[in-house]
Amino acid sequence: MSEIIGGIVSKARGAITSGTDLVMAVFGAGSTAALVEVIRSWLPEQTKGMTDEAVATLAGFLLFYFGDRLHRLLVPFGFGAFLAGVGAWSSEWVEGIILMLKKKE
């Protein structure tokens, strides 16, 4: 398991190395709803029962990890989409933890 995570971390280190990469990561983070819609239109049966967050996370990860086989800029785009998907998926738990810090009235 640590080898898998190590591979993801090393790939993430190289995902954003220029201003163009940063812009593509922002575009990827902002595109998750459209990305999910496109994937669901092509794979309705395979994505039935999956949450939008799970579809976005999976699609983002695949673009991030394997996108360079098609085009170099798909890696930062996928990285942004992956982080947005994971963030949306984990927001329920993270939000609860952060809201514990809220000032009591």
Tens digit of pLDDT for each residue in 33-80?
999 999 999 999 999 999 999 999 999 999 999 999 999 999 999 999
Assess if residue 88 is contained within a domain: yes
User: How far is residue 102's CA from residue 105's CA, in Å, rounded to a whole number?
Assistant: 9
Q: Is the pLDDT of residue 1 over 80?
A: no
Fill in the amino acid letter for 65.
Answer: Y
d(CA 79, CA 65): 8
Structural domain contains residue 104:
no
Residue 31 counted as domain residue? yes
Which residues, 6+ apart, have CB-to-CB distance to 44 below 8 Å? none
Model confidence band, residue 90 (pLDDT cutoffs 50, 70, 90): very high
- Residue where the block lists tokens 């999956």: 50
Note whether residue 60 is domain-resident: yes
Instruction: Tell me how many domains the chain contains.
Output: 1
What is residue 11's three-state secondary structure? helix
Total-model pTM? 0.86
Which residue range forms the structural domain that includes residue 61? 2-99
